[in-house]
Chain A
């Protein structure tokens, strides 16, 4: 039996809506994956995907209500966040927060999510955009700047020491960030055609 057949992959049930499309994207690659909010199953997984759409405030409320904050913070296996899932890895986000307030996120990567500085371009930043820079990380194996990925967002992680890939829309922002075992993509790999699938595959085979 191959290693992958035995591997135990999990999608964290954050209560957000795009769980099914993430699961289908993994299954199209021939892998088996479980959607769960069970603490023990998440802890014992070999790889964890953290999806998310909607606002940071709603998602953090869901994660808190499910009692998953500490579990997610203590994961030592590779974790990949998609879109809002990436943003939840930050310290804070202003999305969905009241005036002069911030939403406390998981604090796994020392960056803060702020409104995308689109400089009069239309928001949300919605559609297929190219990466402007890609670093040498296993998750981006076979991916280069100028490749298109599907983005849908109005908030973003600024460029920082944690930036793995960059994208430009009015200003430059992080298309992907990482620290240790935590990796996040601002775009939607599950909706980014063949190159998006390649990123998911890179992660699951890492």
Chain B
């Protein structure tokens, strides 16, 4: 059976892995290549590398590290950050990345999703969605809204999209996978946003990856059992050694969740 995926996410700035709280105050965690190798060996199913400053600073990810990662790891990995054109995407895929993830550039020009899917195949086009629950919106009922430029708090801004509408739109355009970053939960380790993920799951027919909020092993059990996501992404709990990969996977297996043990 197809296994649920555990995906450590490495936020990259200037070739170093960093981690902030709710997208802010980034601290350096370590060097990128040894960390990537460590996770691959520990049994991660996939890795995601986000250059968190790229879209905001209007520059493309420093690409040399993509090739260095591809040389050492033997599991799939995805690169995100500042991919704005077919040429950017090609360069990163040619260096050995398996997938590319686009976020702010897709909001600026949604047709980019279709163009990339047509050239490189739907399977390698991931769309990242930064979603924030605004309590004041929708006449005080609250609403999930899509944000952009979340790598830089001074430029982070709301878009015109409701999250549930954007999720449907990107699938029409050819997204092969969706990563939903639940911003209210990010970095605070209180659990994934099950409520939001369930709503998105109902509208999402491509693989859906949960992101934001993992703090303990039970959060992973909950998100797979309750929101039926295909993968769960997390950063600090892995980087800080709060959750060992083998213990996480064994627990999920014991909970009858399909998982690849290493």
Q: Cβ of A45: which chain B residues have Cβ within 8 Å of it?
A: none
**A125→B202 CA distance, assembly (Å):** 18
Given A19-B94, A53-B120, decide whether A123 and B74 contact each other with a Cβ distance below 8 A: no
Contact A125 B2, beta carbon cutoff 8 Å = yes
Q: Using CB atoms, name the residue of chain B closest to A146.
A: B1
User: Which residue from A20, A55, A122, A192 sits with its C-beta under 8 Å from B95?
Assistant: A20
User: Which residue from B3, B123, B260 sits with its C-beta under 8 Å from A152?
Assistant: B123
Q: Cβ of A129: which chain B residues have Cβ within 8 Å of it?
A: 1-3
**A190→B97 CA distance, assembly (Å):** 12
A166 sits at the interface (CB 8 A):
no
Which residues of B from 1 to 59 have beta carbons under 8 Å from A?
A: 1-5, 40, 45-46
B230 sits at the interface (CB 8 A):
yes
Q: Cβ of A121: which chain B residues have Cβ within 8 Å of it?
A: 2
Which residues of B from 49 to 92 have beta carbons under 8 Å from A?
A: 67, 70-72, 74-76, 90
Q: Using CB atoms, name the residue of chain B closest to A196.
A: B74
**A188→B99 CA distance, assembly (Å):** 13
A171 sits at the interface (CB 8 A):
no
A124 sits at the interface (CB 8 A):
yes
**A55→B117 CA distance, assembly (Å):** 10
Contact A28 B74, beta carbon cutoff 8 Å = yes
A138 sits at the interface (CB 8 A):
no
Given A21-B98, A53-B123, A193-B74, decide whether A128 and B3 contact each other with a Cβ distance below 8 A: yes
Contact residues on B (Cβ < 8 Å of other chain), bracket: 35 or more
Interface on chain A toward B: helix, strand, loop, or mixed SS? mixed
Contact residues on A (Cβ < 8 Å of other chain), bracket: 35 or more
Contact B93 A124, beta carbon cutoff 8 Å = no
Q: Cβ of A190: which chain B residues have Cβ within 8 Å of it?
A: 74
Contact B123 A17, beta carbon cutoff 8 Å = no
A8 sits at the interface (CB 8 A):
no
User: Which residue from B3, B70, B207 sits with its C-beta under 8 Å from A124?
Assistant: B207
Q: Using CB atoms, name the residue of chain B closest to A169.
A: B2
A34 sits at the interface (CB 8 A):
no
Q: Cβ of B177: which chain A residues have Cβ within 8 Å of it?
A: 124, 126
Contact A53 B121, beta carbon cutoff 8 Å = yes
Q: Using CB atoms, name the residue of chain A closest to B204.
A: A122
Interface on chain B toward A: helix, strand, loop, or mixed SS? loop
Q: Using CB atoms, name the residue of chain B closest to A191.
A: B76
B261 CB to nearest A CB, Å: 9
Q: Cβ of A21: which chain B residues have Cβ within 8 Å of it?
A: 70, 96, 98
B119 CB to nearest A CB, Å: 7
B103 sits at the interface (CB 8 A):
no
A127 sits at the interface (CB 8 A):
yes
B215 sits at the interface (CB 8 A):
no
**A151→B3 CA distance, assembly (Å):** 11
A29 CB to nearest B CB, Å: 10
Contact A124 B231, beta carbon cutoff 8 Å = no
A62 CB to nearest B CB, Å: 12
Q: Cβ of A53: which chain B residues have Cβ within 8 Å of it?
A: 93, 120-121, 123-124
Which residues of A from 119 to 178 have beta carbons under 8 Å from B?
A: 121-130, 148, 150-154, 168-169
Contact B74 A128, beta carbon cutoff 8 Å = no
User: Which residue from B45, B67, B74, B205 sits with its C-beta under 8 Å from A197?
Assistant: B74
Q: Cβ of B76: which chain A residues have Cβ within 8 Å of it?
A: 150, 152, 188, 191
Given A124-B207, A154-B122, decide whether A130 and B1 contact each other with a Cβ distance below 8 A: yes
Contact A17 B2, beta carbon cutoff 8 Å = no
**A25→B3 CA distance, assembly (Å):** 23
**A128→B46 CA distance, assembly (Å):** 10
Q: Cβ of B5: which chain A residues have Cβ within 8 Å of it?
A: 127-128
Contact B122 A127, beta carbon cutoff 8 Å = no
Contact A122 B205, beta carbon cutoff 8 Å = yes
**A184→B207 CA distance, assembly (Å):** 25
User: Which residue from B45, B72, B121 sits with its C-beta under 8 Å from A55?
Assistant: B121
Contact A122 B74, beta carbon cutoff 8 Å = no
- Top 8 nearest A-B pairs (CB, nearest first) are A17-B93, A20-B96, A54-B121, A21-B96, A128-B3, A152-B123, A148-B260, A191-B76
21 interchain pairs, CB-CB under 8 A: A17-B120, A18-B96, A19-B94, A20-B67, A21-B98, A28-B74, A53-B93, A54-B120, A58-B119, A122-B205, A124-B177, A126-B230, A127-B2, A127-B3, A127-B207, A128-B45, A152-B124, A153-B123, A168-B1, A191-B98, A193-B262
